[in-house]
Structure 1
Amino acid sequence: MGDAESLFEKGKSLFAEGLFEDALSYFEQALLLDSKNADLWNKKGAALRSLGRYDEALECFNKSLEIDPSDRNAS
């Protein structure tokens, strides 16, 4: 599986390439290892939003802000 940070980095790379479904998979794997990471929740939300899964994306963005209310990068 790998560590959360390497999974997150791979997910961000896939996201940048427009491979949102693949990126989402990596973000979900990383969250299993680090569920308190606001950036991970935010990126998962961005991937879901890109896939048109808006309700799920909103839940992720809210979770990100719940973990870090001062996060200026939260979508």
Structure 2
Amino acid sequence: MDEITALISKGKSLLEEGNFEDALGYFDQALLLNQNDPELWNLKGVTLRSIGRYEEALECFNKSLEIDPRDKFAS
């Protein structure tokens, strides 16, 4: 498992547990390694939305769609 996959996996686990702040940290670390993954931007957006940071979440969802306009997972 490469580093990005491990970071995303840990972030998803924390997100599912409701540990949003820590999940956000893992998604941010993964984005430092790969800025071109629409799913990763979407995950960050979901996390930000979960903690009430709606404008930042919207920016992430828009970034996801900018990378892949057909992204069926963009929230």
Structure-1-length-normalised TM-score:
0.95
User: What letter corresponds to residue 43 of structure 1 in structure 2?
Assistant: L
Question: Deviation of residue 5 (structure 1)?
Answer: 1.1
Partner residue in 2 for 1:50: 50
Counterpart in the other structure of 2:18: 18
Distance 1:58 1:39 in 2: 14
* 1:3 CA drift (Å): 1.2
Give the structure 2 partner of residue 38 of structure 1.
38
Counterpart-to-counterpart distance in 2, 1:5 and 1:67: 19
- What TM-score do the two structures reach when normalised by structure 2? 0.95
Shift of 1:11: 0.2
Deviation for aligned residue 1:21: 0.5
Q: What's the % identity of the aligned pairs?
A: 65
Equivalent position of 2:70 in the other structure: 70
